[in-house]
Amino acid sequence: MILLGKILIVEDEQAIVDLILMGLRSNGYKVDYALDGEAGADFIMENHYDLILLDIMLPKFDGYELLEYAKQEKIPVIFITAKSELKDRVKGLNKGADDYIVKPFEMEELIARVNSVLRRYKGTIKLPNITIDTKTHEVKKGNVVVRLTPKEYDLLIYLIENAGNILTREQILASVWNKEMEDTRTVDLHLGRLRKKLGLDTVIKTLPKVGYLFEV
């Protein structure tokens, strides 16, 4: 598992709940869900969550009311909104939601937003034997600090955020180097360094002629 976290979904459309459940669980998250606002409030009061995915239009309590519960418990919230709810998105952010995502959405985008919000809040990412402090960018292998260059650090975070997805060299280059470099061998070199420094030989897989895979 990569970013250990427990997430609550409050959404009244079962099909959307099922979709999000599947996506989050396959990415290593623990997930509970509630189909109305009142059940959602109960879950928030009775459990500890790292993040809540919150629909706005809900039976019983609506998303804004639940946001108050979440804020009281200092749990970050991502609103799930319909396209037509532009006003609601603005209102949600003004009231303290951390982000929003518009239905229908791609699972990859949702996972990226979830990871990003969790990283801001949690401050640390834990992998087996590796700890990353996302505020200071300090990376430890066991108890030993490993010095990474800024690019190696960015690359590591990018791999983690896309764990379980096959990444081509071109994708990695475009996201991490942002077109400063054109030679995809740069990616191979840096990945080689990361593997060596952090002992990630078995975690970062090379897929011949395809690219790389950071295994969950």
Residues that bind Ca ion (CB under 5 A): 12, 55, 57
Query: Which residue is closest to Ca ion by CB?
Result: 57
Which is nearer to Ca ion, 12 or 38 (by Cβ)? 12
Q: What's the CA gap between 164 and 162, in Å, rounded?
A: 6
Q: What's the CA gap between 131 and 71, in Å, rounded?
A: 27
Q: What's the CA gap between 23 and 20, in Å, rounded?
A: 5
Q: Which residues contact 118 (CB under 8 A, 6 or more apart)?
A: 3, 5, 50, 51, 76
Q: How far is the CB of 44 from Ca ion (least distance, A)?
A: 18
Which is nearer to Ca ion, 92 or 211 (by Cβ)? 92
Q: How far is the CB of 26 from Ca ion (least distance, A)?
A: 24
Q: In what order do the strands lie in the sheet with 138-141?
A: 124-127, 130-133, 138-141, 144-146
Place of tokens 């532009």: 86
Q: How far is the CB of 174 from Ca ion (least distance, A)?
A: 35
Question: How many other C-beta atoms can be found within 10 angstroms of the C-beta atom of residue 47?
Answer: 11
Q: How far is the CB of 56 from Ca ion (least distance, A)?
A: 7
Which is nearer to Ca ion, 55 or 88 (by Cβ)? 55
Helix axis angle, 150-161 to 185-198, nearest 10°:
90
Which is nearer to Ca ion, 79 or 153 (by Cβ)? 79
Q: How far is the CB of 84 from Ca ion (least distance, A)?
A: 12
Direct distance between the N- and C-terminal alpha carbons of the chain, in angstroms, rounded to an integer: 5
Which is nearer to Ca ion, 65 or 188 (by Cβ)? 65
Q: What's the CA gap between 148 and 88, in Å, rounded?
A: 42
Cβ contact 206:185 at 8 Å: no
Q: How far is the CB of 179 from Ca ion (least distance, A)?
A: 40
